Amino acid sequence: MGKIIKVRAQDAEVGAYEKAYLPEITKGIGITLRHVVKNLFGGDEKYTRTVSYPEEKVEYPVRFRGAHRLTPREDGAPRCVACFMCSTACPARCINIVAEESDDPNIEKRPKVFEIDELKCIFCGMCVEACPEDAIRMDTGEHVKPFTNRADAVYGKVDLLSMLGRTEKNGEQPVYRGAHEHRARQAPQHSPEGTLPVQDEQPEDAH
Amino acid sequence: MDKPAPVIPTVHPGEDLAPDFATKVMEINLGPSHPAMHGTIKLNMTVDGETIVSIDPDIGYLHRGFEKESERATWTQVIPYTDRLNYVSPLINNFGYVLAVEKLLGIKATRRCDYIRTIMSELSRLSDHLTCVGAGAMELGSFTGFLYLVEAREMIWELIEEVTGARLTISYARVGGVTADLPEHFKERCEKVLDKAFHLLDDFQAMVKKNRIFIDRMDGIGVVPKEDAIAWGFTGPCGRASGIPYDVRRAHPYFAYDEIDFDVPIGEKGDNYDRYLVRVEELHQSRKILQQAFKQIPDGPVNVQDPRIMLPPKERVYGSIEGLIGHFKIVIDGIKVPRGEVYSYVEGGNGELGFYLVSNGSGHPWKCRVRPPCFAIMQGLKLMLEKYQIADMVPTFGSVNMIGGECDR
Amino acid sequence: MPKLNIDGQDIEVPAGENLVLAARRIGVEVPVFCYHEKLSIAANCRMCLVEIEKMPKLQPACQTVATDNMIVKTSSPKVIEARAAVMEFLLVNHPLDCPICDKAGECMLQDNYMGHDGKSSRQQDTKTAKPRLEVLGPLVNYNAERCIMCTRCVRFMDEIPKNTQLGVFGRGDRNVIGVFDGKPLDDPYSLNVVELCPVGALGSLDFRFESRVWSLDKTNSVCDGCSKGCNTETHSKKEHVYRMIPRRNDSVNDTWMCDEGRLSYHAHEEQRAEEPLTDGKRASDATALSAALGVLANAVKEKGNGWGVFISPTLTNEGAFAWLSYVKANMAQAKVYFSGRADGVGDQLLRRADKNPNRAGIKAIAEALGIPVGTYTDGITAKPLRVVMLGTETPDDRISSIVNAAQASLVIGAHLTQAFKGAKVALLSGTVFESDGSFVNEDGRVQRVRPCHGVKFAGKSYADWAVMLSQGLDKAVGAKTFAWANTESVFADLANAVKGFSGMRLLGLGLHGKALGSGRATESPSHQQASSPVGA
């Protein structure tokens, strides 16, 4: 299947026509003039696309991996439960997490410190892939904002929570789904040491 | 083959070649940071007037320890490092690496995945050759042509960004598949882009291919005869320009290349003009491959569904303990690849891109060696540049397409 | 000795051995949950089912004793299917807790799923809900949803500390583990159940949420909490020590450790002296140097007459040997006493009343060097006016007050105690987490202590034999003394001088140590395993 092509045999001779400069020069100027005309008056058929940045901006595709954000629960707390999947998966080791006990016994664990050093980040998206709680996303559709010193590039929990995803910027309600939705049923029983209340009712929501 | 230039006798430093002119050879060095250098490389040249008497390339300025870093990373974490090898065709590096890991695991990707990988590899190859050809022309003065091809490359990168999420640091491949399927209506957008891109390429060709200045600087310069090319291990466009009819996609088909019909261009003289012509013809062949791949791509699952190899789909991770455990263990331990070693190779932008992997049974590679195609070609740089003039170094080095990331790793 | 065939290989095993251990001899690891080599057999998890010829149903390998001419298959299709089925049943009610469960990374459910299951869930129903955060005792919490009811914890409490504080309550899928009314899980060995638990049901409140286990560095060492010398694995990361868990040593501690020993890692960072002091004040290098020189020069001049040396039995053998050799050579008239931690509670299991790790070792060394070492008791009224104190652990205040009142004193230690602050010169040495060396436990076993890489203070403090070396003081005060290049060479000299150590090398102590007097003899009993804190 397929053959070998000898490229020199394909209209690649170097002869008298080529050695004379002018025919080619004229042809070349013709091409560039055509480009000029089309770029000025071509409308949608322009060869080059010039975007007057920053007044006009090009919309990034949906899958574009931009600055990170931590997704919020309804009460504004991060969905993150400090499971360390993202910091383990990160090839650049730029995520630093310290865990603590959560006030809400349904949630149990939450991050005390959650920092991403955006300078070290290589924007590969493996953290998003690794998160089992849909707690970190790179769907802000923005770049990391410019900064003047290195410390500003380390985004903490508050910075990461404050960013909005593209759906929110468009006014839509985002849907977050993670393993948390499976765990959140009713409050667990906390008993003083000794007694063991055992559930009689089964929870009613679907698994 | 014609030998283009007269033989110059060996010169000892300080020796006088033309006593009546009272000249000496001079040692100058080009690079490592130099606008005419593609990437960081130092060329130590000994010149007699304008003629290069001897040249000694110094590589390694972009050495970042890829192979050592891979030993620390899990099999999946190596993938972003492979993006940065040949950074103008990163998808080919990605897929070459995961193909090697899949061989060690003894699994085959799904057919749809093979086609997706073929399509993305060819898009990557298009961007690689457009860059090389365009930059080469720019160095000879054709800034306009360069910008035309850069526009074409931009459009292709936008396509790649739609699929992978980034233009260059894509990390798209995964062992056992890819991160995501092609988006909706990708075929139509791709065809529109290719039409425009090839229109620009035709304009570029029209300005450059028969241009006397271009031909004078490219034809007969940087000649590598076929026997020398084979001896130095040239593959890819440089090897094919010298007449070696070897293309990994044809000789050892992988992905979907066994079902796709395409031609392999070869040159005769092995000079810059041949390398240019071969690359442009490969652009056309890539388009042919893309058209066929889009037509033949089957429906079906994209990724291999083995929880010991791939992260489970998100519904399973969020909804079942089995999925969650599989997800956790792969992220924590990495994919457990059985002990063994493999050498797997694909056709990179510059030639045979090989990955020699050794596994000790754990989730981290024991060794991950890359066979960079342009490293072999850099060995032959002496052949291409000695006896020519300093000004010839610019188009020759451009046509070699040495990518620092790949050569130095 | 029954001869049987496992997976096509003929082997001969001791009488009474079960098939899990028999298979291990040929490198076949049968997956288990409820089986533990040191506990009684329960055979309730059914994970270790294997196929035995002539038996129609699969048999649990842990409960089946190897007999002659048995033909066992551990990976036939029936067995593989059975394992996947057992995993499926175990996972049916297991909550999606991996993100919040501390056991992730060392969980047998995770490992066995990946190794022996790999299938997706077929479950349509909801999972059972149970109490999720039961505090069973001061150190242990329990999550009933994660529990797979293997009863390892119950059997442990019954059989090892012989204190039945845990029991199984409820029936069917309402089963939970619990404590009895009014009696929390406060046994001094309670934290062992946390390692025994194959899943994350039982958790350590001390370690809860501190760190993920896969990023911890593991160092094999020995506990310095008492003279038993239980073998440990210290888990640290960067500068912190996160926990200590027991390591198997059949000659010392089986696979257990007491809670007090486990939690002794806190002493690494608590009340640490951070800098050398002179008279309680921070000393610059030059001043400390000259002050220490002055103190020791005095000692040497008087051959130790009127000097007291208090040596804490927490010193390593190498530190004790270095100092006692120095004392013998230069301070022969000094009186040497043991200081060290006060006695505590001992029991029949692992805890010993002597809370110092190396009394036996130092006694042996002192005897070999001909230095009598006494205990500073009420009967000794002489208060030395000049004191060298090695190790800041004291049983009570008397020794500290002697140091503080002394005309000249040199204290070498890790913790900022009264004595350290009151000394004329106080220099830093390291805790057991930064020390390389050896201890001899009360049974006469020489065991290796290894430093954790990069922990806090490592680099500021020095090995107890090297403190003088590091300050460059050795040259000023004593010929060749202290002039060793590394811990191995100190041990080599020690082995030459002390009879019980002869023939030993520090690097030859291995993971399980060597008995005093055993020289080059190998001593591992047949089942000695490499350290594996979780599982059988």
Residue A54: cis peptide before it, omega within 30 degrees of 0 = yes
Residue in chain C closest to A199 (alpha carbons) equals: C130
Most B CBs within 10 A among C86, C96, C108, C112, hence the mutation to make, goes to C96
Query: Across residues B140-162, what is the average pLDDT?
Result: 92
Q: What pLDDT score does C473 carry?
A: 66
CB contact under 8 A, B328 and C96: no
Most B CBs within 10 A among A24, A127, A180, hence the mutation to make, goes to A24
Closest in A105, A182, A198 to C176, CB measured: A198
Q: What pLDDT score does C392 carry?
A: 84
Closest Cα in chain C, distance from residue A109 (Å): 6
Most C CBs within 10 A among A79, A196, A199, hence the mutation to make, goes to A196
| Main-chain dihedrals φ then ψ at residue C283, nearest 5 degrees | -110, 140
Query: Across residues C68-76, what is the average pLDDT?
Result: 93
CB contact under 8 A, C100 and A108: yes
Q: How far is CA B4 from the centre of its chain?
A: 29
| Residue C412 CB neighbour total at 10 angstroms | 27
Based on DSSP, count helices (H) and strands (E) in chain A, helices before strands.
Answer: 7, 6
Q: Check if C103 contacts A (Cβ < 8 Å).
A: no
- Better pLDDT: A200 or B377: B377
| pLDDT higher than threshold 50 for residue A207 | no
* A82 contacts A157 by C-beta, under 8 angstroms: no
% of residues, chain C, pLDDT over 90: 52
Residue B1: exposure state from Cβ atoms within 10 A (0-12, 13-18, ≥19)? middle
Q: What pLDDT score does A185 carry?
A: 56
Residue in chain A closest to B211 (alpha carbons) equals: A24
For residue B147, give the H/E element and its range.
helix B143-164
Token representation of residue C318:
């190498």
For chain A, give the number of residues. Answer: 207
B13-24 confidence digits (pLDDT tens):
655 556 666 667
Predicted TM-score of the model (pTM): 0.88
What's the rounded Cα separation, in Å, for the pair B265 and B267?
Answer: 7
CB contact under 8 A, A179 and C179: no
Residue in chain C closest to B321 (alpha carbons) equals: C96
CB contact under 8 A, B320 and C123: yes
Closest Cα in chain B, distance from residue A58 (Å): 11
Among the residue ranges B209-213, B292-296, C375-379, the one predicted with the least confidence is C375-379
Query: Across residues B244-264, what is the average pLDDT?
Result: 92
Set of chain A residues whose Cβ sits within 8 Å of the Cβ of B268: 6, 8
- Better pLDDT: B387 or C195: C195
Closest in B308, B328, B333 to C118, CB measured: B308
- Better pLDDT: A12 or B326: B326
Set of chain C residues whose Cβ sits within 8 Å of the Cβ of B77: none
Q: Check if C209 contacts B (Cβ < 8 Å).
A: no
| pLDDT higher than threshold 50 for residue C7 | yes
Q: Check if C128 contacts B (Cβ < 8 Å).
A: no
pLDDT confidence tier of residue A203, bands split at 50, 70 and 90: very low
CB contact under 8 A, B328 and C104: yes
C9-65 confidence digits (pLDDT tens):
999 999 999 999 999 999 999 999 999 999 999 999 999 999 999 999 999 999 999
Pairing mode, strands C386-390 and C437-440: unpaired
Set of chain A residues whose Cβ sits within 8 Å of the Cβ of B278: 7
Chains touching chain A, criterion 3+ CB pairs below 8 Å: B, C
Q: What pLDDT score does A206 carry?
A: 33
Token representation of residue B86:
């040949």
Token representation of residue C443:
């049974």
Closest Cα in chain B, distance from residue A30 (Å): 9
| pLDDT higher than threshold 50 for residue A145 | yes
Token representation of residue C125:
């129903």
CB contact under 8 A, C174 and A198: yes
| pLDDT higher than threshold 50 for residue B321 | yes
Could you tell me the CA-to-CA distances from A195 to A190, C174, C180 in Å, in that order? 10, 14, 7
Q: Check if C126 contacts B (Cβ < 8 Å).
A: no
Closest in B306, B321, B326 to C96, CB measured: B321
In the numeric block, the tokens 């996609």 are attached to B249
Q: Residues of A near C (CB-CB distance < 8 A)?
A: 81-85, 88, 99-101, 105, 107-109, 132-133, 179, 182-183, 185-186, 188-199, 202-207
Q: What pLDDT score does B7 carry?
A: 60
Query: Across residues C248-260, what is the average pLDDT?
Result: 93
| Main-chain dihedrals φ then ψ at residue A88, nearest 5 degrees | -75, -40
Q: What pLDDT score does C291 carry?
A: 75
| Residue B258 CB neighbour total at 10 angstroms | 12
CB contact under 8 A, A191 and C134: yes
| pLDDT higher than threshold 50 for residue B140 | yes
Query: Across residues C286-293, what is the average pLDDT?
Result: 73
Set of chain C residues whose Cβ sits within 8 Å of the Cβ of A88: 212, 214-215
In the numeric block, the tokens 């205990």 are attached to C375
Most B CBs within 10 A among C93, C110, C123, C128, hence the mutation to make, goes to C110
Pairing mode, strands C202-204 and C140-142: antiparallel
Q: Check if C110 contacts A (Cβ < 8 Å).
A: no
Residues in a beta bridge with C438:
C448
Query: Across residues B239-254, what is the average pLDDT?
Result: 93
Closest Cα in chain C, distance from residue A39 (Å): 55
Q: Which amino acid is at C388?
A: V
What's the rounded Cα separation, in Å, for the pair B390 and C254?
Answer: 77
What's the rounded Cα separation, in Å, for the pair C201 and C146?
Answer: 5
Q: What pLDDT score does C395 carry?
A: 82
Closest Cα in chain C, distance from residue B316 (Å): 8
- Better pLDDT: C458 or C406: C406
Q: What pLDDT score does C533 carry?
A: 37
| pLDDT higher than threshold 50 for residue B352 | yes
* DSSP characters over B175-224: TTEESSPPPTTHHHHHHHHHHHHHHHHHHHHHHHTT-HHHHHHHTTSS--
| pLDDT higher than threshold 90 for residue A163 | no
What is the count of residue pairs from A and C with beta carbons less than 8 Å apart?
A: 99
Closest by alpha carbon to B153, among B202, B194, B94, B203?
B194
Set of chain C residues whose Cβ sits within 8 Å of the Cβ of B333: 214
Residue in chain C closest to B312 (alpha carbons) equals: C120
Token representation of residue B221:
């310069």
pLDDT confidence tier of residue C528, bands split at 50, 70 and 90: very low
Query: Across residues B253-271, what is the average pLDDT?
Result: 91
CB contact under 8 A, C132 and A105: yes
Query: Across residues B330-341, what is the average pLDDT?
Result: 94
ipTM field: 0.87
For residue A22, give the H/E element and its range.
helix A21-41
Token representation of residue A156:
């903490």
C466-501 confidence digits (pLDDT tens):
877 766 666 666 555 677 888 898 999 899 888 888
Could you tell me the CA-to-CA distances from C495 to C319, C370, C375, C489 in Å, in that order? 13, 15, 25, 10
| pLDDT higher than threshold 60 for residue A186 | no
What's the rounded Cα separation, in Å, for the pair C14 and C35?
Answer: 19
| Residue C30 CB neighbour total at 10 angstroms | 26
* C113 contacts C87 by C-beta, under 8 angstroms: yes
* C234 contacts C244 by C-beta, under 8 angstroms: yes
CB contact under 8 A, C94 and B316: no
C32-45 confidence digits (pLDDT tens):
999 999 999 999 99
Query: Across residues C418-435, what is the average pLDDT?
Result: 86
Closest in C96, C123, C133 to A188, CB measured: C133
Could you tell me the CA-to-CA distances from C105 to A79, B338, B366, C102, C482 in Å, in that order? 22, 20, 21, 8, 44
CB contact under 8 A, A91 and B265: no
Of chain B, the end-to-end C-alpha distance in Å amounts to 35
Set of chain C residues whose Cβ sits within 8 Å of the Cβ of A113: none
Set of chain C residues whose Cβ sits within 8 Å of the Cβ of A205: 126
Q: What pLDDT score does C335 carry?
A: 85
Closest in B318, B324, B329 to C114, CB measured: B329
Q: Check if C510 contacts B (Cβ < 8 Å).
A: no
Q: Which amino acid is at B188?
A: E
CB contact under 8 A, A31 and B206: yes
Set of chain C residues whose Cβ sits within 8 Å of the Cβ of A101: 208-209
| pLDDT higher than threshold 50 for residue A193 | no
